[in-house]
Structures are given as C-alpha cells and as structure tokens.
C-alpha cells in the first residue's frame, strides 16, 4: 500500500511539473502562431479549438454543460476579459520576446491580482502583504529596466504585456467565483464558447481562411498544444490538484511557469535570457511566496 501511495505521489508530482511546463511553453507556442496571422485571427482560432477540446473533455468527465442563471453576468464579463487578454497576449508576443514577456506577465499577474483584491476589500495590507507588494513593484521595475530605460514601458510589446497582466488580474476575480454557479470546468467551457462568439463579430474571415490555408505542421502543432494540451488538459489537472492538495500548495507550483517560459524561448527561439529578467523574475517569485505565506 505504501509503495502504491508513493508511486501515485510521484505521478501526481510529475503531472504538476508537466502542467506548469506546458503553461510556460505556451508563450513559445504563441510566438510561432503569431507568424501565421494577426492577433485577432489567432485568438479566434485558439478559442474555437479550446472550446471544442473542452467539450469532449467535459463529455468524458460526464460534467453538466450548464451553470446557474445567476452566473451569466460574471460569465459574460469573464468572456470579454479573456478575449481582451488573449488579444493583448498575441499582440505583445508579435512585437516582443515571448520569454521575457512570459516572465513579466506570469510574475506580475498574482501580484496585481492581490493588489486589486486589497483595494476592493478596502483594507490595509498586513506586514507580509506590504513587503510582498513592494517586492512585486520592484520586480516590475527591474523586468522593464525602468530605472535606466524608462521608455521601455512603451517598447517591444511591454505595454501590451502590462495591460495583459491587468486584464488577467481582473479576469481572476470573476473566474474565482465560477464554482458558485456549477462546475469550474463548465464555466471555462462556456467562457471560451462565448469568447469565440464575441471574436466572430470582429474577425475578418478572409484573414481566417488565409491563415488556415498557409497553416503547416508547425502551425497546427502549436495551435493544438496551446489550445488543447495547455488550456484543456494542463489547466484541468491544476484544478484537480487544488481540490486534492489545496489551492495554496497547488499555487506553489506556479513558480515554475516563469522559468519554463524563459527556458522554452531559449530552446526553441534562441532567445537569450538577460540578467534583468532573471533578477526581476526571482524578485517576483519571492513576492508571490511572501503574499501567499500564512
């Protein structure tokens, strides 16, 4: 029995490591996809692929495909925010470097989310929270090299990465309430479905056809990887982990995402990881650790 439990623990640990690695490598996949079309077109194709893959996953899990009516407003707002985030994600990747962008966004996301939560709760931060937020602010300054090159905030996709962080932080406020209305997986499924509809209204289908026409094996691999493996399978496994070991312990694995984002860009895109990215990333990881420390 002990051997079986140890084996299950190792498989669980491997699953979490692979999931976080997939999240980080999705930045590299996004860069490849940006070579084939504009941000709106790629966002639309990613959403519809995610929607279809989640549909089959929910059927396999025998999960209801509906949520309570009182969750419709939060669902609509979440769909708008995920659409905005994904557009900013691809726009930033088109102009900038996915490794540096991946570190910047994944480090700042939880810090900005925490700051927004404090403002909405109308309470003063504790000592640990103050230290964490200051470290997070310092991480952002270092990552963007604002002390020596303040104009960097408007260069190489950085402004899009920053706006993406804010939109994701706002999105997390609504997805955090998903379990109140039914299965979080169903909420995600409907969110991506509604996002697909929203992007249909602004997509140029000549561009969609053109992108699909020139799509080769590299295109389809990265689309399926980012939409199916990363969003559907890795995220689903993460949700399973939060239910099994708790959100706080599961969230500790997220510290791997900035590292894997930088690693993936270095391996596949020859993006050299710069010193300020390493220092800023470590400061951000320390900030998130302190913010989550009880």
The parent domain of residue 80 ranges over 37-292
User: In this structure, is residue 64 part of a structural domain?
Assistant: yes
Q: Cα–Cα distance between 215 and 285 in angstroms, integer? A: 37
Non-local CB neighbours of 29 within 8 Å, separated by 6+ positions: 222, 223, 225, 226, 230
Kindly write down the DSSP assignment for every residue of 204-251, as one continuous string: -HHHHHHHHHT--HHHHHHHHIIIIIIIIIIHHHHHHHHHHH-HHHHH
**3-state SS class at 294:** coil
Q: Which of 68-72, 105-109, 181-185, 241-245 has the lowest mean pLDDT?
A: 241-245
Sign of the Cα torsion 195, 197, 202, 208 reads positive
Sign of the Cα torsion 270, 108, 78, 245 reads positive
User: In this structure, is residue 16 part of a structural domain?
Assistant: no
Q: Cα–Cα distance between 213 and 191 in angstroms, integer? A: 28
- Split at pLDDT 50, 70, 90, the class of 290 is confident
Q: Cα–Cα distance between 20 and 17 in angstroms, integer? A: 5
User: In this structure, is residue 264 part of a structural domain?
Assistant: yes
- The 8-class DSSP code of residue 230 comes to I
Q: Which of 6, 4, 9 is nearest to 241 (CA)?
A: 9
Domain count of the chain? 1
Which pLDDT belongs to residue 219?
Answer: 97
Q: Which of 9-13, 69-73, 188-192 has the lowest mean pLDDT?
A: 9-13
Q: Is the pLDDT of residue 25 over 90?
A: yes
Q: Is the pLDDT of residue 253 over 80?
A: no
- The pTM for the full model equals 0.87
First to last CA, the chain: 33
Which pLDDT belongs to residue 5?
Answer: 66
Calculate Rg over the CA atoms of the chain. 19
Q: Cα–Cα distance between 254 and 24 in angstroms, integer? A: 10
- Split at pLDDT 50, 70, 90, the class of 3 is low
Question: H-helix or E-strand containing 71?
Answer: none
User: In this structure, is residue 192 part of a structural domain?
Assistant: yes
User: In this structure, is residue 175 part of a structural domain?
Assistant: yes
Mean per-residue pLDDT, 242-261: 69
The pLDDT tens digits for 196-237 are 999 999 999 999 999 999 999 999 999 999 999 988 888 777
Q: Which of 69, 233, 85, 259 is nearest to 168 (CA)?
A: 85
User: In this structure, is residue 20 part of a structural domain?
Assistant: no
User: In this structure, is residue 216 part of a structural domain?
Assistant: yes
Q: Cα–Cα distance between 248 and 206 in angstroms, integer? A: 45
Q: Cα–Cα distance between 50 and 195 in angstroms, integer? A: 11
Q: Cα–Cα distance between 152 and 140 in angstroms, integer? A: 12
The pLDDT tens digits for 145-167 are 776 766 666 666 788 988 998 99
CA 171 to chain CA mean position, Å: 11
42 with 139: CB under 8 angstroms?
Answer: no
User: In this structure, is residue 55 part of a structural domain?
Assistant: yes
Which pLDDT belongs to residue 32?
Answer: 95
276 with 143: CB under 8 angstroms?
Answer: yes
The pLDDT tens digits for 77-129 are 999 999 999 999 999 999 888 888 888 888 888 788 878 888 888 888 888 88
Question: H-helix or E-strand containing 260?
Answer: helix 256-269
């Amino acid at each position: 029995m002990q051997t079986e439990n140890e084996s299950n623990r190792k498989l669980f640990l491997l699953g979490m490591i692979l999931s976080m690695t997939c999240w980080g490598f999705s930045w590299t996949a996004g860069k490849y996809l940006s070579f084939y079309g504009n941000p709106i077109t790629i966002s639309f194709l990613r959403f519809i692929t995610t929607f279809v893959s989640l549909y089959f996953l929910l059927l396999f899990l025998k999960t209801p495909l509906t949520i309570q009516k009182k969750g419709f407003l939060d669902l609509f707002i979440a769909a708008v925010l995920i659409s905005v985030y994904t557009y900013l994600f691809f726009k930033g990747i088109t102009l900038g470097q996915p490794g540096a962008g991946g570190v910047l966004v994944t480090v700042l996301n939880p810090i900005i989310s925490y700051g927004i939560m404090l403002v909405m709760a109308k309470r003063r931060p504790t000592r640990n929270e103050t230290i964490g937020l200051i470290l997070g602010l310092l991480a952002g300054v270092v990552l963007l090299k604002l002390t020596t090159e303040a104009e960097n905030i408007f260069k190489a996709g950085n402004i899009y990465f920053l706006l993406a962080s804010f939109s994701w932080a706002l999105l997390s406020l609504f997805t955090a309430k998903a379990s109140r209305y039914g299965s979080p997986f169903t909420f995600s499924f409907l969110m991506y479905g509604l996002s697909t509809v929203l992007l249909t209204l602004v997509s140029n289908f000549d561009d969609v056809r053109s992108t699909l026409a020139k799509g080769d094996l590299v295109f389809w691999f990265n689309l399926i990887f980012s939409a199916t493996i990363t969003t559907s399978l890795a995220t689903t496994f993460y949700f399973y982990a939060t239910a099994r070991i708790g959100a706080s312990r599961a969230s500790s694995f997220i510290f791997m995402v900035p590292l894997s984002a930088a690693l993936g860009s270095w391996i596949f895109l020859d993006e050299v990881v710069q010193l300020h990215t390493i220092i800023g990333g470590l400061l951000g990881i320390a900030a998130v650790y302190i913010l989550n420390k009880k």
